[in-house]
Structure formats: structure tokens, C-alpha cells
Amino acid sequence: MDVVGYELEIDVDWDSLAKDGNVDQYELSIPDVYFAPVLKVFKDVCQDDMGKEALQEVVKKIEFKNENDIWSARDWVKLKGDVLILDHETTTNSGNIDDRAYYLNEVLENNF
């Protein structure tokens, strides 16, 4: 991932992202729910070498999934060891990019 400046392992559980059956919404909702908040936060954090180094120390892998019926931005992000787990319902609250970015940033800052 060029934004972070190091090789970051990314695992997308496509089967779980598609479990709700709302195929007509996936093209817009998947990028908004999962990828936009991550890019927003990572671009902000990685503006300088200090941010890149902090992120590299904390996050080695990202897992994107929809396993636990999580629809709240407050609950969608967890850090287990060096794995950032982003678990959210695929088509619920897709427009709340800033909220998901806020809580992602909070979890990262608390672990830097």
C-alpha cells in the first residue's frame, strides 16, 4: 500500500462482505464502508516519516469482513496484536465514512 510506505498485508473476506444479498448496493457501499475510512486515516497518519513508522510498528495486517452484524462506527474497529480488524455490515450506514474514520483513528492513536 503506497500510502503507508511499507508492505501491509490485506485480507478481504469477500464471502462475508456479500452475505446480506444486497448486490445492487455493493459497488458503492463496499468502498464507502471499508476502504474510504482507511485511506482517509492512513493518508493523515502517514503524512510524515514519524506517522509511517508508528503505523508500521502497530499494524502489519488489515482484515476486512462482515461477521458480527456490526453497524456502529464505534464498534467496527479492533486491533488484535498487530492485526487491524474492520468488521461492519456491508450496506448499513455506508455514508458514515467520517464516523468510521474517527474511531479507526482513535484506536490507532491509542496504540501508537
- Is residue 53 a part of any domain in this protein? yes
Residue 6 falls within a domain, yes or no?
A: no
Domain range for 101: 21-111
Q: Is residue 80 part of a domain?
A: yes
The model's pLDDT over 26-70, given as tens digits with 9 standing for 90+, comes to: 999 999 999 999 999 999 999 999 999 999 999 999 999 999 999
* Domain annotation covers residue 7: no
Residue 10 forms part of a structural domain: no
Establish if 1 belongs to a structural domain: no
Conformational region of residue 88, where left means phi above 0, alpha means psi within -120 to 50, and beta covers everything else: beta
Residue 29 phi, psi (nearest 5): -75, -40
- Counting the structural domains of the chain, the total is 1
| Predicted structure pTM score | 0.92
In a domain, 55, yes or no: yes
